[in-house]
Chain A
C-alpha cells in the first residue's frame, strides 16, 4: 500500500492520465471563469479564454516539474498573462492602464492571482468534488467531526463506530485533499 499518494499535479504532468486531467479541469474551471469575469469578459469570451488557458496547460504541464521551490501558481499566472495579452491584441483592446497590449506588465492589476483567494477557491471546489470519492458514511463522519467540531466520542456513538474510525475518517479525507492539491496550493 502506498504511503504518500501521488499528487494530482504529478499525475497530470505525467500526461497520460485522462482521469487526472478531468479532475484538474473540474478543479480549475470555476476559478478561471471567475477570473475572466473580473477581467470584464462576457461568458462567450470567457469560455474561449479559459479554453486557451487549458490548451496551453495540457500541452505544457508535462514540462512543469513539480518542485517545492517553483510555485505552480506563479507559472499559472504567466500562462494567464500570455493568454490575456493575446486576447487584448485580438480584440484590439487596451489593458486597464492603457498602452500597447503586447507590453502588459506582469504587475497589471487586471490579472492577479492572489494566493488566499486561489487556495480558498480550490479547497472549496476540491471539497465539493471529493464528496463523491468517499463512502457516504465516511464523509458524514468526517464532516461532523472536523467541520462541525463535535467531540469524537459523540460522533462515534451517533454513527455506531469506534472513535478510531472517526479519527481515521478525518485523516483519510484530509490526506486525499492534500494529495489532490499538493503543488497547486502553498501549504
Chain B
C-alpha cells in the first residue's frame, strides 16, 4: 500500500473517529492531513460518548470491600493453577525391587501423601543410610519463572532456623528440574488427620498444640520468615508425645506465585485474601483459625466452596467459639480482621497459652493477671507494695445449675470441660450433675475412633436447669461379608431390635443383626440391584439381572425377611435389568422398573399392570397407606400414581428451573415427599408440592425418611451419608466411612440409627444424634 492510501468516505471516517466498528484507519489517519482537516469541528455524540461524558463528570468511589470481593470472584474460573487435579510425579525408574523409583540419588518406596503442593515419598538416603521423607514439588507450580529460586531461598532460610518445632530439612536439592526437600521420616500424623478422625480436641491438647506452634512461629518470625500457610494439614503431631512440628515453610511462596495467592481458604488472613502485603501477623490469624477448629470441630470460616470460605473471611465474624472464656478471648483477638488488633507477636501468644495451661493444670481460678503484674513491678519502685500478687476479691460465685445429661444405653462416660475444669458424667442413661454456668465442651472419657459427641459443646445459663442429650455419633458397626457392591439396604424389626437386609451384585441377599454374629445369606438367581421390605420383614423383594439377558434372572424374588427363606414364585415379566423396587407398608402392592417399563404388582395375585416409560424411572416409594406410589425419573420430575389404577398419573411435579437435575431417589414423608437429585440437591416437598432445597456436595443415590418424618438420610456418590433436618432445611451431620458410592440407606425403627451399603461392599450401622 502506498503512503497515500485512499481517504475513507465520510461515513467511515465518522465511525472511525467515534471508535465504532470501522476498517482500521490508524495508520492512515496518523499521517493524512486532509482527513485531519475533515475531522476538525464538533460532531454529534452517540449513546456511548454521552455516557462517557456523564461518567467522567461524577465518580462514586467503589468501597474497598467490593474490590476485595472482586479478587475472590475472579478465581471462580477454573484454571490450571487453582485446579487440584491429581498428578503423579513419577520418580525416575527404580533400580531395585520394592522401589517406586528414584528421586536423584534417593530410592523411594511409597507415597506417604499428596496435596496441592506436591508429593511426599518415603525414601532412603544411601549416603547416610537412614530413612527419609522426600517432598517433590508439583510441576504446575513451577511454570512461573522465578518460582524455583524464590522457593529455594525460602527453604534455605527456613533451614537456618533451629527450633524443635520446625521440621529440620536435611537437604534442598533439584532433581530432574524439580526442587525436593529431604527431611527426616516422622512418625505420627497431621493435626488435620487427627481432627478428621476424632473431632474437636480436649482443652489441654488445644492449649499445648497452640503453645508449641506459637513458639515455633516465634523462632521463624525472629528470623524474618512468615509461613503464610499455617493450617492443621501443616502441623505434624509427632509420635508418641504429639509434639508439634511445623511443616512446609517456604512452599506457600511457590504456590502463591502460581495461583496468584498463597495460603489455604478458611485459614488465610483477610490481608492475604486481598493479596496485600503480609507480615507475621497473618500467621497469627491462621493460628487462631487452627485453635478455633480444634475447639469447635469446624473452622471459623468453613463454607461449601473455597471461594465461599474466602468471602466469609472478608465479610463475616465467626460464631462465638465454644471454648473456656480466656481461650475464647485469645482466639477472638487472633481472628481480628485488622492485623493491628491481633496479639503483637507469636512469642506473646505462646506465653499466654502457657499461662492458660498452668491455670488449667492446677484448676485454680485465675487471680493473677499478667497485665497487673507488669503494672505492679513499676508500682513497687514507688515503695509501699511488697506483695508480688494482688488478690482480686473473688466475685460471689454463681449458683450451680442442675443439668441432666442423657446418653445412649451403650455409651460410656463423658467428660464435660468448663472454666473450672473437668466433670465426669456416667454414661448409659440419664445422669444428674450440678454445673456452674458457662461454656462446656464434651468428649468421651474413652475416645472411640469415628465417634464424635453431638453436641460437642453447650452453654449452661444461670438459674436454668436443662437437659442435654449427647450422642456419640458415628459408625457403630460394619460388616464386610458381601463379595460385591451393595445395591440396596432395608431395616426390618426383629422383636425389640432390628436386622439389616442388603442385596448385592454378588448374587446374595444378606440378613445382618449387628452385634449378634455373622450375617446370613441366601442366593439370588442374578446380581441383586434393588431390595424392598416391609417394616416387619414379612414381605421382602429383590430384583436385578445381568447383562446376559437371562429371562430367568430378571424375575423379582420374594423372601421372608426373618428367615431368608424364599416365599412363593418369583414374579416374572420384566425384559431388562430391574433397578427400582418399592413395596407398600402393608405388603399388598409393589412397584418395579427397568429401563423401559414400570410394573405395578398386586402381591396377592394376578398380572401386573405394565406401563411403558418414555423417561427412565430411577426410584420409587409408596405412601404409608399404600394407595399411591411416587416415582422419580431421569428428567428431574416426580410422578404420583394410584397403585390400583396407575394410568393416568395423578400428579407430576418438578423443581423450578429450566433443566432440573435427574432424580435419583425418592421418599415419602408424613408431611409430603422428598427427592434426591444428580446435582446433590435434596428437595423437600410439602403436601401442596412447594419445594425447599437442601444442597449437598454429592450426587444423591438413595433417600430414607425417619419414622417421625423430621429427618432424611441422603446417600451420596461421594461416599458420605448425610442426615438432613427437615425443619431446619439443612444437613446436620455427615457420616464418613464408605469408600465410593453409597447405594442404599435406611433408618432403624427408633430413628436413632442408620444403615447404609455401598460399592465398597460394606454394610455399616451408624449412631445418629438425638433430635
Contact = CB atoms under 8 A, between A and B. Distances in A.
Nearest to A3: B24
B733 to A, nearest CB: 20
A36 to B, nearest CB: 10
Contacts of A163: 36, 39-40
Contacts of B36: 162-164, 167
Nearest to B72: A51
A175 B70 contact: no
A82 B316 CA distance: 24
A35 interface: no
A4 B311 CA distance: 37
Q: Is the interface of B mostly helix, strand, loop or mixed?
A: helix
A173 interface: yes
Contacts, number: 150
Contacts of A127: 52, 55-56
B47 A50 contact: no
B612 interface: no
A108 interface: no
B66 A33 contact: yes
Nearest to B308: A51
Given A119-B51, A177-B48, A102 B19 contact: no
Contact of B311 (A1, A2, A47): A47
A119 B48 CA distance: 9
Interface string A1-22: 1111000000000000010011
Given A3-B24, A25-B74, A43 B56 contact: no
A29 B69 contact: yes
A39 interface: no
B73 A146 contact: no
A92 to B, nearest CB: 8
Interface in B301-319: 307-308, 311-312, 314-316
B23 interface: yes
Interface string A145-174: 011000010000000001111011011111
A163 B19 CA distance: 16
B24 A2 contact: yes
Contacts of A124: 54-55, 59
B20 interface: yes
Contact of B30 (A25, A82, A125, A168): A168
A34 to B, nearest CB: 9
A120 B56 CA distance: 10
Contact of A58 (B32, B67, B77, B308): B77
Interface residues of A, number: 58
A178 B51 contact: no
A106 interface: no
Q: Is the interface of A mostly helix, strand, loop or mixed?
A: helix
Contacts of A174: 18-20, 48-49, 52
Interface in B36-60: 36, 39-40, 46-49, 51-56, 59
Contacts of B656: 82, 85, 102
A86 B693 CA distance: 9
A69 interface: no
Contact of B56 (A3, A51, A147): A147
21 contacts: A3-B23, A43-B65, A44-B315, A58-B76, A58-B77, A102-B690, A119-B47, A120-B54, A127-B55, A128-B59, A146-B52, A152-B39, A163-B36, A164-B29, A164-B33, A167-B39, A174-B18, A174-B20, A174-B48, A175-B19, A177-B52
Please name the 8 residue pairs, one residue from A and one from B, whose CB atoms are nearest each other, closest first. A174-B19, A175-B19, A124-B55, A44-B315, A123-B51, A29-B70, A147-B56, A21-B77
Interface of A: 1-4, 18, 21-22, 25-26, 29-30, 33, 43-44, 47-48, 50-51, 54-55, 58, 82, 85-86, 89-90, 100, 102, 119-120, 123-125, 127-128, 143, 146-147, 152, 162-165, 167-168, 170-178, 181, 185-187
Given A3-B21, A43-B315, 15 more contacts: A18-B79, A25-B74, A25-B76, A26-B70, A50-B73, A51-B69, A51-B311, A102-B656, A102-B691, A120-B51, A124-B59, A162-B36, A174-B48, A176-B19, A187-B46
